[in-house]
A = this chain, B = another copy of it.
Amino acid sequence: MKLDIDQANQTAIERMMTSRPILKTVARAGDVIPGLEEDLLLHAGPPIEWERMSGPLKGAVIGALIFEGKAKDESQAAELAASGEIRFAPCHHHQSVGPMAGVTSSSMAVYVVENQAEGDGGGNLAFSNLNEGYGKVLRYGAYAPEVLDKLHWMNDTMAPLLTRALEVSGGLDLRTLLAEALHMGDEGHNRNKAGSILYLKLLAPHLAAVSKDNAELAEVLRFLGDNALSVLNPVMAACKAMADAAHGVEGSTVVTAMARNGTDFGIRVSGLGGAWFTAPAATPEGLYFSGFTAADANPDIGDSTITETTGIGAFAMAAAPAIVSFVSGKPRDAIEATLEMYEITAGEHRHFTIPPLDFRGSPTGIDIRRVVELGVTPRVNTGIAHREPGIGQVGAGLVRPPIEIFEQALLAYAEKYSL
Protein backbone atom coordinates (compact mmCIF):
# COMPACT_ATOMS: atom_id res chain seq x y z
CA MET A 1 0.00 0.00 0.00
CA LYS A 2 1.31 3.41 -0.99
CA LEU A 3 2.18 5.75 1.86
CA ASP A 4 -0.20 8.70 1.86
CA ILE A 5 1.61 11.23 4.01
CA ASP A 6 -0.99 13.96 3.62
CA GLN A 7 -3.71 11.57 4.70
CA ALA A 8 -1.65 10.47 7.71
CA ASN A 9 -1.15 14.10 8.67
CA GLN A 10 -4.87 14.81 8.40
CA THR A 11 -5.51 11.86 10.71
CA ALA A 12 -2.97 13.26 13.17
CA ILE A 13 -4.37 16.79 13.26
CA GLU A 14 -7.92 15.47 13.31
CA ARG A 15 -7.03 13.58 16.50
CA MET A 16 -5.44 16.73 17.86
CA MET A 17 -8.52 18.83 17.11
CA THR A 18 -11.18 16.38 18.24
CA SER A 19 -9.38 15.99 21.56
CA ARG A 20 -11.40 17.49 24.38
CA PRO A 21 -9.08 18.08 27.34
CA ILE A 22 -10.99 18.26 30.62
CA LEU A 23 -9.29 19.46 33.79
CA LYS A 24 -10.37 16.76 36.22
CA THR A 25 -8.47 17.27 39.43
CA VAL A 26 -5.29 18.21 41.25
CA ALA A 27 -3.36 15.35 42.85
CA ARG A 28 0.04 14.41 44.25
CA ALA A 29 2.35 13.83 41.29
CA GLY A 30 3.70 10.54 42.64
CA ASP A 31 0.15 9.22 43.00
CA VAL A 32 -0.96 9.90 39.44
CA ILE A 33 2.00 10.27 37.06
CA PRO A 34 2.99 6.80 35.83
CA GLY A 35 6.50 5.84 36.93
CA LEU A 36 7.20 8.98 38.97
CA GLU A 37 9.09 7.32 41.82
CA GLU A 38 10.64 9.25 44.69
CA ASP A 39 14.15 9.08 43.24
CA LEU A 40 13.04 10.50 39.89
CA LEU A 41 12.85 14.16 38.91
CA LEU A 42 11.02 15.18 35.76
CA HIS A 43 12.36 18.14 33.76
CA ALA A 44 11.47 20.10 30.66
CA GLY A 45 12.78 19.29 27.21
CA PRO A 46 14.55 16.28 25.78
CA PRO A 47 16.67 13.95 27.98
CA ILE A 48 19.71 15.49 29.69
CA GLU A 49 22.08 14.53 32.50
CA TRP A 50 23.07 16.75 35.43
CA GLU A 51 26.45 17.71 33.97
CA ARG A 52 24.98 19.21 30.80
CA MET A 53 22.08 20.98 32.51
CA SER A 54 21.89 24.76 32.23
CA GLY A 55 21.88 27.07 35.27
CA PRO A 56 18.13 27.49 35.63
CA LEU A 57 17.46 23.77 35.29
CA LYS A 58 20.16 22.98 37.87
CA GLY A 59 18.64 25.63 40.14
CA ALA A 60 15.20 24.05 39.87
CA VAL A 61 16.63 20.58 40.56
CA ILE A 62 18.36 21.94 43.66
CA GLY A 63 15.09 23.56 44.78
CA ALA A 64 13.09 20.39 44.20
CA LEU A 65 15.53 18.28 46.22
CA ILE A 66 15.34 20.72 49.12
CA PHE A 67 11.54 20.85 48.73
CA GLU A 68 11.40 17.06 48.93
CA GLY A 69 13.54 17.05 52.07
CA LYS A 70 16.29 15.12 50.30
CA ALA A 71 18.83 17.87 50.81
CA LYS A 72 19.26 20.65 53.36
CA ASP A 73 20.88 23.24 51.18
CA GLU A 74 22.28 24.04 47.77
CA SER A 75 25.57 22.21 48.16
CA GLN A 76 23.97 19.03 49.55
CA ALA A 77 21.43 19.14 46.76
CA ALA A 78 24.03 19.66 44.03
CA GLU A 79 26.09 16.81 45.43
CA LEU A 80 23.08 14.50 45.52
CA ALA A 81 22.08 15.50 41.99
CA ALA A 82 25.57 14.64 40.73
CA SER A 83 25.81 11.39 42.75
CA GLY A 84 23.75 9.21 40.44
CA GLU A 85 21.25 8.46 43.24
CA ILE A 86 18.70 10.73 41.61
CA ARG A 87 17.34 9.85 38.18
CA PHE A 88 16.24 12.45 35.66
CA ALA A 89 13.67 12.07 32.88
CA PRO A 90 11.80 14.40 30.57
CA CYS A 91 8.28 15.33 31.67
CA HIS A 92 7.30 14.26 28.15
CA HIS A 93 8.30 10.64 28.95
CA HIS A 94 5.68 10.65 31.70
CA GLN A 95 2.66 12.25 29.95
CA SER A 96 3.65 15.54 31.58
CA VAL A 97 4.77 19.02 30.71
CA GLY A 98 6.18 21.85 32.81
CA PRO A 99 6.92 25.50 31.93
CA MET A 100 10.57 26.68 31.93
CA ALA A 101 12.70 24.22 33.99
CA GLY A 102 9.56 22.08 34.38
CA VAL A 103 11.02 20.23 37.36
CA THR A 104 8.36 18.04 38.93
CA SER A 105 8.97 15.76 41.91
CA SER A 106 6.76 13.12 43.46
CA SER A 107 5.35 15.24 46.32
CA MET A 108 4.35 18.15 44.15
CA ALA A 109 0.69 18.79 43.33
CA VAL A 110 -0.13 18.47 39.64
CA TYR A 111 -3.11 19.12 37.40
CA VAL A 112 -4.72 16.03 35.87
CA VAL A 113 -6.24 16.50 32.42
CA GLU A 114 -8.29 13.79 30.74
CA ASN A 115 -8.82 13.76 27.01
CA GLN A 116 -12.54 13.10 26.52
CA ALA A 117 -12.10 13.06 22.77
CA GLU A 118 -14.96 13.18 20.32
CA GLY A 119 -12.98 11.18 17.75
CA ASP A 120 -10.24 8.56 17.72
CA GLY A 121 -7.20 8.71 19.92
CA GLY A 122 -8.70 9.99 23.16
CA GLY A 123 -8.88 8.69 26.70
CA ASN A 124 -5.29 9.69 27.44
CA LEU A 125 -4.25 11.64 30.53
CA ALA A 126 -1.78 14.52 30.79
CA PHE A 127 -0.23 16.28 33.76
CA SER A 128 1.35 19.60 34.67
CA ASN A 129 2.57 21.20 37.88
CA LEU A 130 0.91 24.32 39.39
CA ASN A 131 1.93 27.81 38.29
CA GLU A 132 3.88 29.77 40.90
CA GLY A 133 3.24 33.27 39.55
CA TYR A 134 5.93 35.88 39.13
CA GLY A 135 9.12 36.95 40.84
CA LYS A 136 11.49 34.37 42.29
CA VAL A 137 10.10 31.01 41.23
CA LEU A 138 11.43 27.48 40.91
CA ARG A 139 10.60 27.19 37.22
CA TYR A 140 13.12 29.95 36.46
CA GLY A 141 15.74 28.26 38.61
CA ALA A 142 15.28 30.13 41.89
CA TYR A 143 15.30 28.14 45.15
CA ALA A 144 15.56 30.70 47.95
CA PRO A 145 13.53 30.00 51.12
CA GLU A 146 10.64 32.20 49.94
CA VAL A 147 10.47 30.19 46.71
CA LEU A 148 10.11 26.96 48.65
CA ASP A 149 7.70 28.54 51.15
CA LYS A 150 5.42 29.48 48.29
CA LEU A 151 5.65 25.99 46.85
CA HIS A 152 4.69 24.54 50.23
CA TRP A 153 1.73 26.92 50.51
CA MET A 154 0.62 25.94 47.01
CA ASN A 155 0.96 22.25 47.85
CA ASP A 156 -0.54 22.29 51.34
CA THR A 157 -3.18 25.03 51.14
CA MET A 158 -4.13 25.79 47.55
CA ALA A 159 -3.91 22.32 46.04
CA PRO A 160 -6.36 20.58 48.43
CA LEU A 161 -8.87 23.37 47.84
CA LEU A 162 -8.43 23.06 44.07
CA THR A 163 -8.90 19.30 44.34
CA ARG A 164 -12.21 19.66 46.18
CA ALA A 165 -13.42 22.50 43.92
CA LEU A 166 -12.62 20.56 40.75
CA GLU A 167 -14.36 17.53 42.20
CA VAL A 168 -17.65 19.40 42.65
CA SER A 169 -17.19 21.20 39.30
CA GLY A 170 -17.34 17.91 37.40
CA GLY A 171 -14.30 19.05 35.37
CA LEU A 172 -13.48 22.15 33.34
CA ASP A 173 -13.44 22.09 29.55
CA LEU A 174 -10.08 23.62 28.66
CA ARG A 175 -10.58 23.61 24.89
CA THR A 176 -13.63 25.84 25.29
CA LEU A 177 -11.71 28.06 27.70
CA LEU A 178 -8.82 28.39 25.24
CA ALA A 179 -11.11 29.13 22.32
CA GLU A 180 -12.71 31.91 24.33
CA ALA A 181 -9.37 33.30 25.53
CA LEU A 182 -8.16 33.58 21.90
CA HIS A 183 -11.14 35.90 21.33
CA MET A 184 -10.01 37.95 24.30
CA GLY A 185 -6.51 38.86 23.20
CA ASP A 186 -4.62 35.82 24.52
CA GLU A 187 -2.38 33.58 22.45
CA GLY A 188 -2.35 30.94 25.18
CA HIS A 189 1.37 30.75 25.87
CA ASN A 190 3.02 34.00 26.94
CA ARG A 191 -0.28 35.84 27.22
CA ASN A 192 -2.84 34.00 29.35
CA LYS A 193 -4.43 37.05 30.96
CA ALA A 194 -7.95 36.33 29.79
CA GLY A 195 -7.63 32.57 30.16
CA SER A 196 -6.42 32.89 33.72
CA ILE A 197 -9.40 34.99 34.80
CA LEU A 198 -11.78 32.78 32.83
CA TYR A 199 -10.25 29.96 34.86
CA LEU A 200 -10.78 31.92 38.07
CA LYS A 201 -14.37 32.68 37.04
CA LEU A 202 -15.08 28.96 36.50
CA LEU A 203 -13.40 27.90 39.75
CA ALA A 204 -14.49 30.69 42.10
CA PRO A 205 -18.04 29.49 42.90
CA HIS A 206 -16.77 25.94 43.48
CA LEU A 207 -13.90 27.16 45.64
CA ALA A 208 -16.40 29.14 47.72
CA ALA A 209 -18.69 26.14 48.01
CA VAL A 210 -15.96 23.82 49.35
CA SER A 211 -13.90 26.23 51.44
CA LYS A 212 -14.13 26.07 55.21
CA ASP A 213 -11.82 29.01 55.87
CA ASN A 214 -12.60 32.27 54.13
CA ALA A 215 -9.28 33.92 54.90
CA GLU A 216 -7.61 31.02 53.09
CA LEU A 217 -10.23 31.20 50.32
CA ALA A 218 -9.56 34.92 49.84
CA GLU A 219 -5.83 34.19 49.62
CA VAL A 220 -6.35 31.50 46.97
CA LEU A 221 -8.73 33.68 44.93
CA ARG A 222 -6.21 36.52 45.07
CA PHE A 223 -3.29 34.29 44.11
CA LEU A 224 -5.12 32.78 41.13
CA GLY A 225 -6.55 36.14 40.03
CA ASP A 226 -3.34 38.14 40.32
CA ASN A 227 -1.32 35.57 38.38
CA ALA A 228 -1.96 36.12 34.68
CA LEU A 229 -0.29 32.74 34.09
CA SER A 230 -2.53 30.76 36.46
CA VAL A 231 -4.04 28.85 33.59
CA LEU A 232 -0.79 28.31 31.66
CA ASN A 233 -0.09 24.96 33.32
CA PRO A 234 -3.60 23.48 32.86
CA VAL A 235 -3.45 24.78 29.27
CA MET A 236 -0.07 23.08 28.74
CA ALA A 237 -1.44 19.81 30.08
CA ALA A 238 -4.43 20.27 27.74
CA CYS A 239 -2.05 20.80 24.79
CA LYS A 240 -0.04 17.74 25.85
CA ALA A 241 -3.24 15.69 25.88
CA MET A 242 -4.09 16.94 22.38
CA ALA A 243 -0.55 16.38 21.07
CA ASP A 244 -0.32 12.88 22.53
CA ALA A 245 -3.59 11.97 20.83
CA ALA A 246 -1.95 12.91 17.52
CA HIS A 247 1.21 10.92 18.23
CA GLY A 248 1.90 7.53 16.71
CA VAL A 249 0.06 7.91 13.43
CA GLU A 250 1.94 5.73 10.94
CA GLY A 251 3.47 7.87 8.21
CA SER A 252 2.64 11.24 9.71
CA THR A 253 5.23 14.02 9.51
CA VAL A 254 3.41 16.18 12.07
CA VAL A 255 5.41 17.36 15.10
CA THR A 256 3.85 16.14 18.37
CA ALA A 257 6.34 17.64 20.82
CA MET A 258 8.67 20.62 20.84
CA ALA A 259 10.56 21.08 24.10
CA ARG A 260 13.74 22.64 25.47
CA ASN A 261 15.77 21.75 28.53
CA GLY A 262 17.83 24.96 28.54
CA THR A 263 20.66 23.27 26.66
CA ASP A 264 18.99 21.43 23.76
CA PHE A 265 15.86 21.99 21.72
CA GLY A 266 14.14 18.72 20.84
CA ILE A 267 11.20 17.58 18.76
CA ARG A 268 9.26 14.37 18.34
CA VAL A 269 7.25 13.45 15.26
CA SER A 270 3.94 11.55 15.09
CA GLY A 271 5.17 8.83 12.72
CA LEU A 272 8.62 8.44 14.26
CA GLY A 273 7.87 6.87 17.64
CA GLY A 274 9.69 8.01 20.76
CA ALA A 275 12.81 9.39 19.07
CA TRP A 276 13.97 12.91 19.95
CA PHE A 277 15.73 15.07 17.36
CA THR A 278 17.84 17.63 19.15
CA ALA A 279 20.33 20.46 18.67
CA PRO A 280 21.59 23.30 20.87
CA ALA A 281 18.81 25.71 21.88
CA ALA A 282 19.07 29.32 20.71
CA THR A 283 18.79 32.32 23.04
CA PRO A 284 15.50 34.23 22.71
CA GLU A 285 15.41 37.80 21.47
CA GLY A 286 13.10 40.03 23.41
CA LEU A 287 12.61 42.63 26.10
CA TYR A 288 14.56 42.48 29.35
CA PHE A 289 13.42 43.48 32.82
CA SER A 290 15.15 46.50 34.30
CA GLY A 291 18.73 45.67 35.30
CA PHE A 292 19.15 42.72 32.92
CA THR A 293 20.50 42.37 29.38
CA ALA A 294 20.88 39.69 26.75
CA ALA A 295 24.18 38.73 28.40
CA ASP A 296 22.18 37.37 31.35
CA ALA A 297 19.93 35.16 29.24
CA ASN A 298 19.94 31.40 29.33
CA PRO A 299 19.21 29.57 26.07
CA ASP A 300 15.58 28.71 25.41
CA ILE A 301 14.01 26.46 28.05
CA GLY A 302 10.70 24.78 28.85
CA ASP A 303 7.95 22.46 27.68
CA SER A 304 5.60 25.38 27.06
CA THR A 305 6.25 25.05 23.32
CA ILE A 306 3.62 22.32 23.53
CA THR A 307 1.27 25.28 22.92
CA GLU A 308 2.84 26.09 19.55
CA THR A 309 2.83 22.35 18.79
CA THR A 310 -0.97 22.39 18.97
CA GLY A 311 -1.66 25.64 17.10
CA ILE A 312 -1.69 28.30 19.80
CA GLY A 313 1.07 30.43 21.38
CA ALA A 314 3.13 32.20 18.71
CA PHE A 315 1.04 30.40 16.08
CA ALA A 316 -2.08 32.26 17.29
CA MET A 317 -0.24 35.51 17.95
CA ALA A 318 -2.49 37.41 15.53
CA ALA A 319 -5.21 36.99 18.17
CA ALA A 320 -3.07 38.80 20.74
CA PRO A 321 -1.88 42.15 19.38
CA ALA A 322 -1.26 43.52 22.88
CA ILE A 323 1.41 40.87 23.51
CA VAL A 324 3.98 42.87 21.58
CA SER A 325 4.41 45.19 24.55
CA PHE A 326 5.76 42.14 26.40
CA VAL A 327 7.75 40.23 23.79
CA SER A 328 8.75 43.14 21.48
CA GLY A 329 7.57 44.14 18.01
CA LYS A 330 4.50 45.83 16.54
CA PRO A 331 0.92 44.51 16.35
CA ARG A 332 1.47 43.97 12.62
CA ASP A 333 4.32 41.56 13.49
CA ALA A 334 1.84 39.47 15.47
CA ILE A 335 -0.36 39.14 12.37
CA GLU A 336 2.67 38.25 10.22
CA ALA A 337 3.80 35.63 12.72
CA THR A 338 0.55 33.72 12.41
CA LEU A 339 0.36 34.14 8.63
CA GLU A 340 3.85 32.70 8.28
CA MET A 341 2.94 29.65 10.37
CA TYR A 342 0.20 28.68 7.89
CA GLU A 343 3.04 27.91 5.47
CA ILE A 344 4.43 25.10 7.62
CA THR A 345 1.28 23.55 9.11
CA ALA A 346 -0.98 20.75 7.96
CA GLY A 347 -4.31 22.40 8.74
CA GLU A 348 -6.35 25.10 10.41
CA HIS A 349 -7.87 24.54 13.81
CA ARG A 350 -11.60 24.00 13.97
CA HIS A 351 -11.98 25.31 17.54
CA PHE A 352 -9.18 27.85 17.92
CA THR A 353 -10.11 30.80 15.69
CA ILE A 354 -8.55 34.21 15.28
CA PRO A 355 -10.91 37.21 15.14
CA PRO A 356 -8.51 39.68 13.41
CA LEU A 357 -8.03 37.10 10.61
CA ASP A 358 -11.79 36.91 10.03
CA PHE A 359 -12.05 34.02 12.49
CA ARG A 360 -9.70 31.83 10.48
CA GLY A 361 -8.63 28.69 12.34
CA SER A 362 -5.14 28.89 13.83
CA PRO A 363 -2.32 27.15 11.93
CA THR A 364 -2.13 23.67 13.42
CA GLY A 365 0.17 20.68 13.09
CA ILE A 366 3.76 21.50 12.11
CA ASP A 367 4.78 19.46 9.07
CA ILE A 368 8.53 18.75 9.15
CA ARG A 369 8.52 18.46 5.32
CA ARG A 370 7.37 22.03 4.91
CA VAL A 371 9.75 23.37 7.56
CA VAL A 372 12.71 21.87 5.73
CA GLU A 373 11.45 22.66 2.24
CA LEU A 374 10.70 26.33 2.99
CA GLY A 375 13.46 26.85 5.54
CA VAL A 376 10.82 28.34 7.85
CA THR A 377 11.09 27.15 11.45
CA PRO A 378 8.25 27.40 13.98
CA ARG A 379 7.93 30.61 15.94
CA VAL A 380 7.93 30.42 19.71
CA ASN A 381 6.93 32.96 22.38
CA THR A 382 8.81 32.45 25.62
CA GLY A 383 9.97 33.74 28.96
CA ILE A 384 13.72 34.24 29.40
CA ALA A 385 15.55 32.74 32.40
CA HIS A 386 18.80 33.97 33.90
CA ARG A 387 21.69 31.72 32.91
CA GLU A 388 22.78 31.23 36.53
CA PRO A 389 20.88 29.02 38.98
CA GLY A 390 19.01 30.75 41.80
CA ILE A 391 18.09 34.00 40.05
CA GLY A 392 14.92 33.74 37.97
CA GLN A 393 13.20 35.44 35.05
CA VAL A 394 14.99 38.28 33.28
CA GLY A 395 12.65 38.96 30.35
CA ALA A 396 10.41 37.57 27.62
CA GLY A 397 10.77 37.27 23.88
CA LEU A 398 10.72 35.31 20.68
CA VAL A 399 12.82 32.40 19.50
CA ARG A 400 12.87 29.62 16.91
CA PRO A 401 14.15 26.06 17.11
CA PRO A 402 17.28 25.17 15.12
CA ILE A 403 16.40 23.92 11.62
CA GLU A 404 18.80 20.97 11.96
CA ILE A 405 16.36 19.08 14.17
CA PHE A 406 13.73 19.13 11.41
CA GLU A 407 16.35 18.00 8.89
CA GLN A 408 17.40 15.15 11.20
CA ALA A 409 13.78 14.15 11.65
CA LEU A 410 13.15 14.19 7.91
CA LEU A 411 16.21 12.00 7.31
CA ALA A 412 15.01 9.56 9.97
CA TYR A 413 11.60 9.60 8.34
CA ALA A 414 13.06 8.84 4.90
CA GLU A 415 15.02 5.99 6.40
CA LYS A 416 12.12 4.50 8.40
CA TYR A 417 9.69 4.69 5.51
CA SER A 418 12.31 3.81 2.86
CA LEU A 419 11.70 6.93 0.77
Contact = CB atoms under 8 A, between A and B. Distances in A.
Contacts of A215: 209
**Count class of interface residues, chain A:** 35 or more
Given A185-B355, A321-B355, A356-B321, A209 B218 contact: yes
Contacts of A357: 331
A211 B214 contact: yes
Interface in A178-213: 183-186, 193-194, 197-198, 200-202, 204-206, 208-209, 211
Contacts of A321: 355-356
Contacts of A211: 208, 214
Contacts of A324: 355
B225 A218 contact: no
A219 interface: yes
A94 interface: no
Given A204-B204, A208-B218, A215-B209, A355 B197 contact: no
A217 interface: yes
* A interface SS class: helix
Contacts of A330: 358
Contact of A198 (B183, B197, B325, B358): B197
A275 B52 CA distance: 76
A127 to B, nearest CB: 26
Nearest to A204: B221
Contact of A214 (B201, B202, B209, B356): B209
Given A197-B197, A197-B200, A355-B331, A205 B185 contact: no
Interface string A305-342: 00000000000000001101100001110000000000
A240 to B, nearest CB: 26
A44 to B, nearest CB: 29
A202 B226 CA distance: 9
A259 B356 CA distance: 31
Contacts of A205: 218-219, 221-222, 225
A173 to B, nearest CB: 15
Interface string A5-18: 00000000000000
A355 B211 CA distance: 39
Interface in A254-301: none
Given A194-B194, A209-B218, A355-B321, A204 B183 contact: no
B185 A204 contact: no
Contact of A204 (B200, B209, B358): B200
Contact of A200 (B201, B218, B356): B201
A6 B58 CA distance: 62
Contacts of A225: 201-202, 204-205
A200 B217 CA distance: 15
A191 to B, nearest CB: 9
11 contacts: A183-B185, A184-B186, A184-B193, A184-B322, A185-B194, A197-B200, A204-B204, A208-B218, A208-B221, A214-B217, A321-B356
Interface of A: 183-186, 193-194, 197-198, 200-202, 204-206, 208-209, 211, 214-215, 217-219, 221-222, 225-226, 321-322, 324-325, 330-332, 355-359
